[in-house]
Amino acid sequence: GAVVSQHPSRVICKSGTSVKIECRSLDFQATTMFWYRQFPKQSLMLMATSNEGSKATYEQGVEKDKFLINHASLTLSTLTVTSAHPEDSSFYICSARTGLAGHEQYFGPGTRLTVT
């Protein structure tokens, strides 16, 4: 149980275009999902916390107009990187928290974004 999927696993896009990444909890309902960014050989950097049906809470320094997050249902959250630039190239990972009172967070397999 507690499986989280992400789509796509890899995406290459041209500078200036937008890219949407989907995060789904497959066998549980996730009222809260989290989006992370990870650079090579580094730890995970939290970008935003997404609660179903409400606006995402962004971490300091993360541009909310550039990284649009939508959590439309209890099993789906999306991250859209708008007007992508080469410096946005990174590994993006989502996680989902089980239940209202649960502490466990389960991570998706990640999405490798390359902006050319």
- The residues that touch other proteins, with contacts defined as CB under 8 A, are 4, 6, 32, 34, 41-44, 46, 49, 91, 93, 95, 97, 101-110, 112
Shortest distance, position 13 Cβ to other proteins, whole Å: 19
Q: Which of 11, 27, 8 is nearest to 94 (CA)?
A: 8
Return the sign of the alpha-carbon dihedral for residues 16, 108, 68, 34. negative
Nearer to other proteins, 17 or 42 (CB): 42
| Residue 43 or 54 with smaller CB distance to other proteins | 43
Buried b (16+ CB within 10 A) or exposed e, 15-36: eeeebebebbbeebebbbbbbb
Select 71 or 97, whichever has its Cβ closest to other proteins.
Answer: 97
Task: Name the minimum Å distance from CB 16 to other proteins.
Answer: 27
